[in-house]
Structure 1
Amino acid sequence: MGNSLHNKIYLGRRSVALLQNRRVQAWLCLGAFASIGLVWLAIRSFK
């Protein structure tokens, strides 16, 4: 019974709790800045 309503609610609650974790937020922010920087460098290298 892996597709029960209880499992869906639990998984939804867990994913929200994961995004409220400060360490996860810091890694997401760092990854976003790193990817923006890489895209900027790639654009500059083609000009």
Structure 2
Amino acid sequence: MGNSLHNKIYLGRSTGFASRRFQGVLAVGAIVGAGLLWIALRTMR
């Protein structure tokens, strides 16, 4: 059970999510997304 494909995929992803580069990309993406959402809401009003 401990050597199942699901556990290998989950462990592989957890190391990817924990990496500094991924956290930086995620943060920048969230900021850009929030900015685009704000611009879209302003143009609708």
Q: Which TM bucket (shorter chain)?
A: 0.7 to 0.9
Which TM-score applies when normalising by structure 2? 0.86
What is the aligned length?
43
Shift of 1:46: 1.3
Shift of 1:32: 0.7
Q: What is the correspondence of 1:9-24 to structure 2 with a 5 Å cutoff?
A: 9-24=7-22
Q: What is the correspondence of 1:2-41 to structure 2 with a 5 Å cutoff?
A: 6-41=4-39
Structure 1 residue ranges without an equivalent (≥5): none
Dislocated runs of 4+, deviation >2 Å: none
Distance, in Å, in 1 between the alignment partners of 2:22 and 2:37 is 22
Other structure's SS at 2:4 match: helix
C-alpha RMSD of matched pairs (Å): 1.0
Question: What is the aligned-residue identity percentage?
Answer: 26
